């Protein structure tokens, strides 16, 4: 079974975020599972503290990432992925059986050291998303890819 972990900065999400994520995650059954691990955002509002906040969040993400996981950082500067390409990757991952961790940063994104340490860097879009929305988009796409692999009609 493939375990995909969305490791995301943020807590106390709006209700619609939790409901959206939970709805898609619950639909994924069988050969794949999606779980969410939230890490607390770093505090401090001054722009001069941005790098310090991002570094603290990166350390929290690293500690929350499962051991031996394939790490994929989600960053707008990453490689764009199609749904079918992700589905093909999921199929490969299912054969390898190692967990996969998708890292989603907070409002300041992921720092350069996290991007360098990742096995891959993916872009969800050229658009900038609110970090809360990312978890819903990821859950929907993982469900869509799962549906494609299982021959279910949702992926159309």
Q: What is the number of domains present in the chain?
A: 1
Digit-coded pLDDT (tens) for 44-61: 777 778 888 888 999 999
Average pLDDT estimate for 101-110? 91
Q: To which residue do tokens 């409002």 refer?
A: 107
Domain encompassing residue 47 = 2-155
The stretch 3-18 carries a mean pLDDT of 92
CATH number reported for the structural domain that contains residue 30 in this entry? 3.40.1280.10
For helices 15-27 and 131-150, what crossing angle results, to 10°?
Answer: 20
3-state SS of the chain: helix, strand, coil percent to 5?
45, 25, 30
What pLDDT score does 23 carry?
97
pLDDT for residue 59: 94
Please tell me the pTM assigned to this model: 0.93
18 and 48 in contact (C-beta within 8 Å)?
no
Q: Which helix (H) or strand (E) holds 8?
A: strand 2-9
**Residue 155 — pLDDT band, cuts 50, 70, 90?**
low
Residue 36 is predicted with a pLDDT of: 97
Six-digit token string for 91: 């199929």
């Amino acid at each position: 079974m493939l375990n995909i972990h969305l490791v995301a900065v943020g807590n106390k999400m709006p209700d619609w975020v939790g409901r959206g994520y939970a709805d898609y995650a619950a639909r994924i059954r069988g050969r794949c599972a999606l779980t969410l691990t939230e890490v607390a955002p770093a505090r401090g509002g001054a722009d001069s503290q941005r790098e310090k906040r991002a570094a603290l969040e990166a350390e929290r993400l690293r500690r929350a990432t499962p051991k031996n996981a394939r790490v994929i950082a989600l960053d707008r500067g990453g490689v764009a992925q199609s749904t079918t390409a992700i589905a093909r990757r999921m199929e490969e991952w299912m054969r390898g059986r190692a967990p996969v961790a998708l890292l989603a940063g907070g409002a300041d994104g992921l720092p350069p050291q996290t991007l360098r340490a990742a096995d891959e860097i993916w872009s969800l879009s050229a658009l900038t998303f609110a970090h809360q929305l990312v978890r819903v988009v990821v859950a929907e796409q993982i469900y869509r890819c799962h549906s494609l692999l299982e021959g279910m009609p949702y992926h159309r």
